[in-house]
């Protein structure tokens, strides 16, 4: 039987701390993920792609589709039980019919298998980007405008990501402009980046942007895991796009296998205005102490933080494993760990979402440790997405092993540990002098790297190189 430990929310520091015994025996629980249900995309959504038949049948699309490393014939049949075909027929059915019907085609397990089959790629760039090199690159965009398109009904974190990229580009002299689905497709800007394409093109008003010429010149910025239903919905668009920008290096490796130009956007610190949002109506704020809710300037000194550990995320079996094994150790710390079930709810109003982002930043600023655990076995976007929350607020980021990153390194900017031992490591860091010394060194290096010129240069450089290197042919 699967056992879940819901740590709930601790109002500040509670109880006395004691050291973890090296002989603590945390019983390992085997958590079997449920078989994913067969999910269908509404027919109205499928019909919106009907005008792209020529694009789907084009040689470029078919070439990329043939190299798609995440397609799993067995998973395809399991996820689509209505198909009366054999596994040997799965590839032909998917490329001929399933792609147009937006059928799910892979699972987290097949994505992990695909990543293991990929040949070793080039190591992450270690050489800092020189100011002169970046200036020369920026010069090639003089007189051009970069449009960052976000659907007006997208979650606040999607808009925040676009705002961060726009701010980073404008800081180096690029004419970057935020747009939504109400803009005129016929008057689109020189370079168009579409954030969360699964939302932009399929929510109200976005279908008129579903045009072959627009997509062939578009740079898409997907925000969902490669095995998710939203990603299956947008797979035809991703395969047809000019290029992709993703915050997940593993996704980028899969795109590279398909021959799709790509770049990893590392993210930029959030603006100070998030710290000043009014949290009076935010339900999670009721359990926090006053000093946590106060909007101050800059991170709190690590040793003076009232919260030992924080975590933000919805329930998953991977996270269950961490909390089950770490329950004893984490129960002895002052934790703020809202851990709700993942349920379908009406979309949050933008004001509510903005308050939640502000709450997360204020809690991270007052927490010693930020637990960055992905929802899936594929250590990916949530790890570094939550890591950015920690780096920018001076919290020590503690995670399961993650993929290589161009800037942030385990042991230098954050700490990695197995699911079984994360809780013990967190307790050692929060309750011992030697742990505090290590945390102080790691958080100092991470904050310096995150706010330094090298990080900002690399983030902007990689995106501009992609745009410059994939310019549509004139005429």
CATH number, domain of 331, equals 3.40.50
Say which DSSP state 410 is in: B
392 belongs to a structural domain: yes
| Cα 419 from Cα 421, distance rounded (Å) | 6
Which CB contacts under 8 angstroms, 24+ apart, belong to 350-353?
A: 350/156, 350/159, 352/281, 352/282, 353/155, 353/156, 353/157
SS3 60: helix
Task: Answer yes or no: do 262 and 276 share one domain.
Answer: no
| Residue 105: CB atoms within 10 Å | 24
Give the domain extent around 88: 49-117
19 belongs to a structural domain: no
Task: Answer yes or no: do 329 and 425 share one domain.
Answer: yes
Task: Answer yes or no: do 306 and 440 share one domain.
Answer: yes
Q: Which of these, 195, 368, 369, 364, lies nearest to 267 by C-alpha position?
A: 195
Task: Answer yes or no: do 251 and 375 share one domain.
Answer: no
36 belongs to a structural domain: no
SS3 179: strand
pLDDT for the residue 30: 34
Task: Answer yes or no: do 334 and 195 share one domain.
Answer: no
Task: Provide the terminal-to-terminal Cα distance of the chain, rounded to the nearest Å.
Answer: 63
Say which DSSP state 325 is in: H
Task: Answer yes or no: do 207 and 70 share one domain.
Answer: no
4 belongs to a structural domain: no
Strand 396-399 relative to strand 145-149, pairing: unpaired
| Cα 255 from Cα 261, distance rounded (Å) | 7
Split into its structural domains, the chain has a count of: 3
pLDDT for the residue 179: 95
Alpha-carbon Rg for the chain in angstroms: 23
SS3 150: coil
Per-residue pLDDT of the chain (475 residues; tens, 9 = 90+): 333 333 333 333 333 333 333 333 333 333 333 444 433 444 444 444 544 554 555 566 767 877 888 888 888 888 899 988 887 788 888 877 887 787 888 887 788 788 778 776 555 555 667 778 888 999 999 999 999 999 999 887 788 888 888 888 998 899 999 999 999 999 999 999 999 999 999 888 898 898 888 988 999 998 887 777 777 778 888 888 899 998 777 777 788 888 889 888 766 555 545 555 666 666 777 667 666 666 555 667 888 899 999 998 888 888 889 999 999 999 999 998 887 765 544 444 444 466 777 788 888 888 999 998 877 665 543 455 667 788 888 899 998 887 666 678 889 999 999 999 999 999 999 999 999 999 999 999 988 888 776 677 777 888 999 999 999 876 5
């Amino acid at each position: 039987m699967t056992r879940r430990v819901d740590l709930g929310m601790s109002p500040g520091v509670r109880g006395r701390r004691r050291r973890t015994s090296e002989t603590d025996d945390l019983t390992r629980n085997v958590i079997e993920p449920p078989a994913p249900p067969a999910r269908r995309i509404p027919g109205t959504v499928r019909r919106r792609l009907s005008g792209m038949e020529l694009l789907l049948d084009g040689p470029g699309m078919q070439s990329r589709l043939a190299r798609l490393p995440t397609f799993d014939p067995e998973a395809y049949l399991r996820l689509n039980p209505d198909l009366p075909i054999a596994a040997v027929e799965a590839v032909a059915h998917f490329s001929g019919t399933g792609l147009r019907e937006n059928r799910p085609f892979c699972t987290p397990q097949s994505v992990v298998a695909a990543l293991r089959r990929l040949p070793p790629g080039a190591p992450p760039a270690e050489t800092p980007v020189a100011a002169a090199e970046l200036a020369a690159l920026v010069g090639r965009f003089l007189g051009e405008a970069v449009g960052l398109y976000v659907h007006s009904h997208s979650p606040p974190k999607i808009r925040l990501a676009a705002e961060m990229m726009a701010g980073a580009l404008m800081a180096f002299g690029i004419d970057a402009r935020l747009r939504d689905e109400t803009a005129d497709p016929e008057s689109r800007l020189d370079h168009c980046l579409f954030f969360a394409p699964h939302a932009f093109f399929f929510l109200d008003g976005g279908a008129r942007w579903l045009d072959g010429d627009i997509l062939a010149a578009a740079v898409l910025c997907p925000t969902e895991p490669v095995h998710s239903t939203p990603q299956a919905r947008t797979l035809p668009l991703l395969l047809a796009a000019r290029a992709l920008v993703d915050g997940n290096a593993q996704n980028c490796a899969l795109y590279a296998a398909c021959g799709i130009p790509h770049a990893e956007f590392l993210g930029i610190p959030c603006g100070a205005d998030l710290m000043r949002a009014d949290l009076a109506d935010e339900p999670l704020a009721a359990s926090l102490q006053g000093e946590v809710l106060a909007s101050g300037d800059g991170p709190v000194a690590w040793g003076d933080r009232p919260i030992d550990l924080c975590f933000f995320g919805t329930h998953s079996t991977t996270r269950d494993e961490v909390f089950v094994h770490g329950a004893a150790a984490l129960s002895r710390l002052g934790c703020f760990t809202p851990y709700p079930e993942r349920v379908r709810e009406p979309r949050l109003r933008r004001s509510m979402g903005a308050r939640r982002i502000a709450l997360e930043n204020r809690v991270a600023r007052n927490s010693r440790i930020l637990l960055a655990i992905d929802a899936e076995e594929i250590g990916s976007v949530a790890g570094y997405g939550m890591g950015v929350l920690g780096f920018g607020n001076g919290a020590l980021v503690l995670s399961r092993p993650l993929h290589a990153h161009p800037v942030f390194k385990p042991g230098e900017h954050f700490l990695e540990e197995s699911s079984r031992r994360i809780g013990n490591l967190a307790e050692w860091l929060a309750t011992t002098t030697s742990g505090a010394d290590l945390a102080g060194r790691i958080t100092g290096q991470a904050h310096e790297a995150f706010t330094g010129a090298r990080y900002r240069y690399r983030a902007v450089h990689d995106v501009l190189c992609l745009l410059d290197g994939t310019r549509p042919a004139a005429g």
